[in-house]
Amino acid sequence: MKEDTKLIAAGRPHRRPHHPVNPPVERASTYLFPTYDDFTEGAKNIVYGRLGTPTHRALEEAVNLLEGGFETRLAPSGLAAVNYALLAFCRAGDQILAADSVYDPVRKFCDGFLKRFGVETIYYDPLVGSDIEALLSPRVKVVLVESPGSLTFEIQDLPAIAAAAHRSGARVVADNTWSAGCFYKPIRLGADVSVQAGTKYLAGHADLLIGTLTSADEATARAVFQTLLQLGSNVSADDAFLTLRGLRTLKTRMARHEETGLKLAKWLGKRAEVERVLHPAFKSCPGHTIFKRDFSGSSGLFSILMKPLAAGQIKAFFNALKIFGVGYSWGGFESLCVHVRPQNNRTAEPWTEAGPVFRLSAGLEDADDLIADLDRALAAMAAAK
């Protein structure tokens, strides 16, 4: 069966004479056991709400299928999922290597929380490839890859990084939120843990936060699960249910996000106001050749580097948008556009471009309507000072 077919069936109730299409929401803290023996043996891991209910297991099964892993576990947000994956493999005195383009709140966790507990983070150029070797040592326990980076979209050479990391005894954690697991398979390319902010494309409706951690093998999965248990991590059954519902339409939505994203990026690339399109499917994006080798497609999130603008022009652009929402996050059915500032979060490779960067998340609206919205905003920008 093809992945599209498997995703429709994954985590659904097993055939009984009469059953609902979707697994129902099972809300529980306490589970009751009919006998003392049942209690002491536990019933298929479903023993207490914090360890998950059948609703959580159903989502985990479906995401694991999508990511091609050994086991998937859930976290209360994408940020929590990345941070838990790091916590699972480090102790005081260890080092982490993280891409300079990594999601900024993860950077704050590394430079704040982990530093207080004696873990040091070293940031590397996302285009480092096999030269990561020079930064590896027995102290490095995790390499954190985010490909593409979610502001500037550099694509990393995950197979080369993973090979070097594994030779040195480090694990590789990959943030796979951008591809939603549809266009990129980090575990197949050497990652030990593939993490997603399911908040974005998996849930797909901008109404919940959730994270997923998919481990490549049993030992990694055990370390991840023990970390979640010891930290008391929990996800509501309602959010797990909604995310699984989102997954049923994921492939269809991603095809549309991809098509609209490409259409918008092509149109913007021809505009005189735009210096460069930062979209992995475009030659102008660093790492584009690796994208062509390792990805089967693109999602709807990309940025444009604008020619230098006055503050009033930036304001006029955003205030003129009528369809694009101005707000954080991405991956929902609605299009978004935000002014991002990569210069604030780089240390290994400072961002020195003069113009502002606008990030767009292509939603499911009609692409021509979205282009008209951008056209209107660019006209307002040109008229402003």
Ligand X SMILES: Cc1ncc(COP(=O)(O)O)c(C=O)c1O
The alpha carbon dihedral of 223, 139, 171, 217 has a sign of: negative
Whether residue 172 contacts residue 142, with contact meaning beta carbons closer than 8 Å, is answered with: yes
Catalytic residue among 200, 253, 276, 359: 200
Residue of 50, 222, 315, 376 with catalytic role: 50
Ranked by CB distance to ligand X, the top (closest) residue is: 78
Task: Tell me the closest approach of the beta carbon of residue 146 to ligand X, in angstroms.
Answer: 6
Pick the catalytic residue from 57, 73, 100, 103: 103
Among 77, 168, 234, 284, which residue interacts with ligand X (rule: CB under 6 A)? 77
3-state secondary structure of 96: strand
Q: Which x/- pattern, by CB under 6 A, does the window 211-250 give for ligand X?
A: x---------------------------------------
What does the block give as tokens for 269?
A: 């690339």
Instruction: Estimate the crossing angle of helix 311-320 against helix 367-383, to 10 degrees.
Output: 150
Please identify which residue in 11, 52, 69, 78 interacts with ligand X, judged by CB under 6 A.
Answer: 78
Reply yes or no on whether 84 is catalytic. Answer: no
Candidates 22-30, 78-86, 137-145, 352-360: pick the segment binding ligand X (CB under 6 A).
Answer: 78-86
Q: How far is the CB of 176 from ligand X (least distance, A)?
A: 9
Please tell me which residue in 100, 175, 294, 373 is annotated as part of the active site. Answer: 175
DSSP string across 129-158: GGGGGGG--TTEEEEEEESS-TTT-PPP-H
Say whether residue 261 binds ligand X (CB under 6 A).
Answer: no
Told to check if 103 binds ligand X by CB under 6 A, we report: yes
> How near is the Cβ of 150 to ligand X at its closest, in Å?
4
Integer Cα distance of 126 and 348 in angstroms: 9
Reply yes or no on whether 50 is catalytic.
yes
Q: What is the DSSP string of 250-305?
A: HHHHHHHHHHHHHHHHHHHHT-TTEEEEE-TTSTTSTTHHHHHHH-S---SEEEEE
**Least Å from the CB of residue 7 to ligand X:** 21
Hey, which residues does 304 pair with through a beta bridge?
Answer: 277, 358
Token duo for residue 189 = 């390319």
Does 150 engage in binding with ligand X (CB under 6 A)? yes
As given in the structure block, the two tokens for residue 335 are: 């299009």
> Is 123 near ligand X (CB under 6 A)?
no
At 13, list the tokens.
Answer: 């109730």
Judged by CB, which is closer to ligand X: 69, or 316? 69
CA dihedral (128, 133, 134, 135) in degrees, to 10, reads 80
- Is residue 189 helix, strand or coil? coil
Asked if 183 touches ligand X (CB under 6 A), the answer is no
Catalytic residue at 263?
no
Least distance (Å) between residue 336 CB and ligand X: 11
Question: Residue from 10, 97, 161, 209 that binds ligand X (CB under 6 A)?
Answer: 209
Q: Which of 100, 125, 157, 175 binds ligand X (CB under 6 A)?
A: 175
Shorter beta-carbon distance to ligand X: residue 77 or 168: 77
Q: Closest Cα partner for 383 from 321, 325, 317?
A: 317
Active site includes 270? no
Q: Cβ of residue 79: shortest distance to ligand X, in angstroms?
A: 3
The contact pattern for ligand X, residues 46-75, with x = CB under 6 A and - = no contact, is ------------------------------
User: Is residue 46 classed exposed, middle or buried when 0-12, 13-18 and 19+ CB atoms within 10 A define those classes?
Assistant: middle
In the numeric block, which tokens belong to residue 355? 């113009």
Q: Which residues of this protein are in contact with ligand X, per CB under 6 A? A: 77-79, 82, 103, 146, 150, 175, 177, 197, 199, 209, 211, 329
Q: Which residues are catalytic?
A: 50, 103, 175, 200
